[in-house]
Amino acid sequence: MILHAFGDSFVSGYQDDFIHILGYDPGHGMEFEEREEYLKYNVSFAALIAKHLGFKFKNYAERGSGNFPQLDKLTTRLRAGKIKSGNIVLFGITTPIRDRLFFAEDVKIHNEELSGPILIDRELITSQRLDKVIDSDYFYILCILEQLERIFGIKIIKFNLFGTPPPVPYNFINYINEGTLIDILNDTWGQKIKNQYHTNIDVPAGYENLYTLKKHPSIEGHKKIASWFINNVKL
C-alpha cells in the first residue's frame, strides 16, 4: 500500500524557524533542499501517518503551492499509472486565494485581441464579488477530486489546511469539512471557528509549542495532527 500526499507547506512539514535561526535563504542551495526532503519524509504529519500504518510514502507537497498545481501533479501521476487503484491520497486543500483570484486583476484574464475572457468569467470580476471566484474554484477542486476517485479507483482524503473555506452545500465523499488543521492544533475542531491566513492566526495561550515562528505546524504540531488523523479518519 502506498500513501500519497499533496498540498502546501502544511503537508510538506516545512519548518520556517529552521530558516530564520540558521539564516538559510529559502529556495536556494542544496542544504535547504536536502532539509526540505527530510522534513517531507520524516517530520510531516503525512509521513508519520504512513509510518504508523506501515505504508510506503510519497510526498508531492510544495511550500506556497496553490491547489491547481497540486491537482496537476495528482492527475499527471494517475494518468501515468504512478498512483494505482487501491492507493490512498491525502489532499490538503490550501486557501483558494492562491488559485484564479491571484490573477483576478491581471490583464491576461481577457484576450485583448478578441476581447473574450480567458481565465475567469468577466461577470465574476465586474460584479466586484471576488468571493465568487473563490467559491467557484473551491467547488471545482472538490468536484475534480471526487471524479478522480471514481475514474481511477483510488481513495482521496480531502481536508482543509488553514483559513475558513467557502461553504459547500453538497455532500462530497471522503471530504473532512468540520474544520482545518488549525482547529486540530487548537482543539477547536467542529466549533466552526473562523480562521485567518495562517500567518495571521492568534495562537491560544498554551499552544505555542505547536507552531513555528511563522505559524506553520511545528514538529510537535505535526505529531498532534498525525495522531488526530490516525484516531479519527478511516484510511
pTM of the model: 0.88
Please determine, for residue 28, whether its predicted confidence score (pLDDT) is greater than 90.
no
Please determine, for residue 128, whether its predicted confidence score (pLDDT) is greater than 70.
no
Please determine, for residue 17, whether its predicted confidence score (pLDDT) is greater than 80.
no
70 C-beta neighbours (distance < 10 Å), count:
23
Return the DSSP state at 184: H
Domain borders along the chain are: 2-103+134-232
Q: Which H/E stretch holds residue 222? A: helix 219-232
Grid cell locating 4? 500519497
Q: How many residues does the chain have?
A: 235
Mean pLDDT over each residue of the chain, to the nearest integer: 87
Q: Identify the top-confidence range among 8-17, 30-39, 128-137, 145-154.
A: 145-154
Task: Grade residue 20 by pLDDT with cuts at 50, 70 and 90.
Answer: very low
Task: Grade residue 109 by pLDDT with cuts at 50, 70 and 90.
Answer: low
The pLDDT of residue 111 is 52
In the chain, where do the E strands start and end? 2-6, 56-59, 88-93, 110-111, 116-117, 155-160, 175-180
Q: Is 47 helix (H, G, I), strand (E, B) or coil?
A: helix
Instruction: Work out the angle between the directed axes of helices 30-42 and 45-53 (0-180°, nearest 10).
Output: 50
Radius of gyration of the chain (CA): 18
- Answer whether 95's CB lies under 8 Å from 166's CB: no
The owner of cell 482521496 is 156
Q: Identify the top-confidence range among 75-89, 156-170, 192-206.
A: 75-89
Instruction: Taking residues 60-81, report their average pLDDT.
Output: 96
Looking at 3.90.1150.200, 3.40.1050.10, 3.40.50.9100, 3.40.50.1110, the CATH number of the domain 2-103+134-232 comes to 3.40.50.1110
